[in-house]
Amino acid sequence: MRLSTVLLATGAVLSDGFVLPTKTVKNVRPLNVLQEPKRYFTTMKATSGNATDVDTSVTMEKKKVESITSYDDSKDLPIHTATIKPAGLLCDEHFCIEDDLTHKLQHRGRSRKRVLVLCTGGTLTMSNDPTKGGSLAPRQGALTEYLSTMRELIDDPEMPEIVAHEYTPLIDSSDMNPGDWRTVAVDIYENYNFFDGFVVLMGTDTMAYAASALSFMFQNLGKPVVFTGSQIPLREPYNDARKNLIMATIFASSDSIAEVSIFFHDRLVRGCRATKINTSKLLAFDSPNLDPLAEIGINIEEREYLLRDPPKGPFRIRTEMDTRLITLRLVPGFDDTMILQMIKAARETKLKGLILQLYGTGNLPSLKDDLIDCLTEASENGVVVVVTTQCHTGSVILGHYATGQALKRAGVVSANDMTLEATTTKLAYLLGRQDLSIEEVRELMQVDLRGEMTQEDAMPPPPLASTYQKAIAKKNRSRRF
C-alpha cells in the first residue's frame, strides 16, 4: 500500500479569550497566529508492491511551519533564532514516523492514550563528556536508550503509548531562548490532534521561564503540557529522573488537567506560577503564591478546585515575544545616578519594558526623586514599568505605604503576586502581540490571563489593615469555593 497525506493550511485568528474592561482592540492585524489545526486527511492507495513500499515523494513528511507573513511593524521585533531544529508532524491517526530522533515505545498493554515526549536536553540526558574536560553535557540518543529499558512504561496496561522525539542538538537550558520556546510550542501545535498530552524534557535552570512562556503562547489549551527534568542524570544508579519522567507521563495523560505545568520531585505546579528555588536538592521548584495542583505520596492527590476550566474556544498559539526589556533588583544604598543612566541608555535602543524588583509590597526610597522623575518620563514615552516584590511569597500593593504612592502616580504597573518568570514572559508576550496599545498592555498586565496571578478580591488583607478590611477580605475568600 502507498501512503499519501494531504495537509490543510490554517488560518489566522486574533482573539485571545479575554475582554478589555474599558476598551476594545483597534487596528488588529495578524502576527504569527496559528488557528486550531484541522484534521489531516490520509488516503490509502493500493499498489501491487510490498506493503512496506512507500513512495518517498508522498510519505508523511515532517511539515515545518513557516513564519506567517506579518505586517510591516513586525520587523522591529527582536529576532530569536532557535538552536534546536523543529520536530514537525510526527503522527497521524494511522502512522508515526520512526527515525534516528523519533521512537515509538512498543506498548504491550491496552493502549488507550498517546503521549508525545519532546526532549530538548538538560541534566536528565547528560553524561561526562571527555571532549569537554569530563564535564556533564547532554548526550544524543540517551533518552531513547533509557526509555527502552523502562518496563513500567511499556508493560503496564494503564500507561499511555509514548512517542519520544529528541531535538538536535540537545542543549543546556541556559542556551534556550524564545526562538526555542517557539519551536517547542509550534511542534505541540502541529501534533495537537494526534496526542492526548505532551511532556517537555529540559534543564531546570530556565524551565520556569519556558513553562511560563508557553502558558501565554497557548490560547484555549485543552490538554496537559507537562515540563520536567532532573537534578541527577538518568544514567546514575540513584537519580530523580526516572520518577519525574514517569509521573510527568502519567499527568500528561490526565483528563482533568488542561494547562502548562511542571512536575518535579513530588508535586505538580502551574507553569506560570513556578520558580526554581534550589540547585542541590531534589525539590527544585516551588509555587510561592499558589498551592501545588497535585502532590504524590502513596496516592496522587489532585486539588481539583485549582485546576483551570476547560477551554471554550479552539486551540491556537501566538509565539512572537518582544524581549526589549530589562530587570533591575534594587538594594539599599544603590547609586540612582547609575540606574538613571542605564534606563536612559536603554531607551535610546527602543526599550519597551522595565521590571523593578523592589522591597516588600513594592516600596522605593522616598528620597529618590530623580529616579521617580525618570520612571515617570519613561512611562510617558511608552515604556511599560512593572513593579515586583523581592519577597518569595506575597504581593505588590502599590500605595499601601507612602513610599509606594509616588510610583503609582508615575504610571508604574503592579505585578501583584506574579513570579519574576511570569512577569517577564507575560510582558514580552503582550508587547510581542503588536495589536495592543501601550495602555492596553498595562491594563492586561493586571488581568489574570492564564492563572498566573491571584485576583484582587481573593488577596489577603494588606499589613496593618483595619478590622473592616480584614472582614471584607475573609468574606471574599470564602466565595472562592
Which residues does the annotation mark as catalytic?
123
On the 0-12 / 13-18 / 19+ scale of CB atoms within 10 A, 391 is: middle
DSSP-derived letter for residue 130 is: G
List all residues 6 or more positions away from 202 whose beta carbon is below 8 Å from its beta carbon: 119, 120, 121, 122, 173, 176, 210, 227, 229
The DSSP line for 82-108 is -SSPP----B-SS-B--SSSEEE----
Which residue is it, cell 509555587?
A: 287
| All cell numbers assigned to 374 | 525618570
Asked if 406 and 364 count as a contact pair (C-beta separation under 8 A), the reply is yes
- 145-150: which pairs have CB atoms within 8 A and are 24 or more residues apart? 146/234, 146/235, 147/103, 147/105, 147/117, 148/103, 148/105, 150/242, 150/245, 150/246
Give the span between the Cα atoms of 408 and 323, in whole angstroms: 24
Cα separation, 398 vs 386, in Å, equals 11
Q: In the 8-state DSSP scheme, what is residue 363?
A: B
Residue 217 contacts residue 185 (beta carbons within 8 Å): yes
173 assigned binding-site residue: yes
445: DSSP letter: T
Q: How many CA atoms lie within 13 A of 364 on its CB side?
A: 26
Asked if 244 and 229 count as a contact pair (C-beta separation under 8 A), the reply is yes
Note whether 425 and 182 are within 8 A (CB).
Answer: no
Distance in angstroms (rounded) separating the CA atoms of residues 257 and 221: 10
Alpha helices by DSSP H, 177-240 = 178-190, 207-217
What number of H helices and E strands is found in the chain?
11, 22
Cell match 511560563: residue? 212
B/e letters for 48-84, b = 16+ CB within 10 Å, e = fewer, are eeeeeebeeeeebebeebeebebeeebeebbebebbb
Q: Which residues are annotated as a binding site?
A: 173, 204-205
Q: Which residues are annotated as a binding site for substrate?
A: 173, 204-205
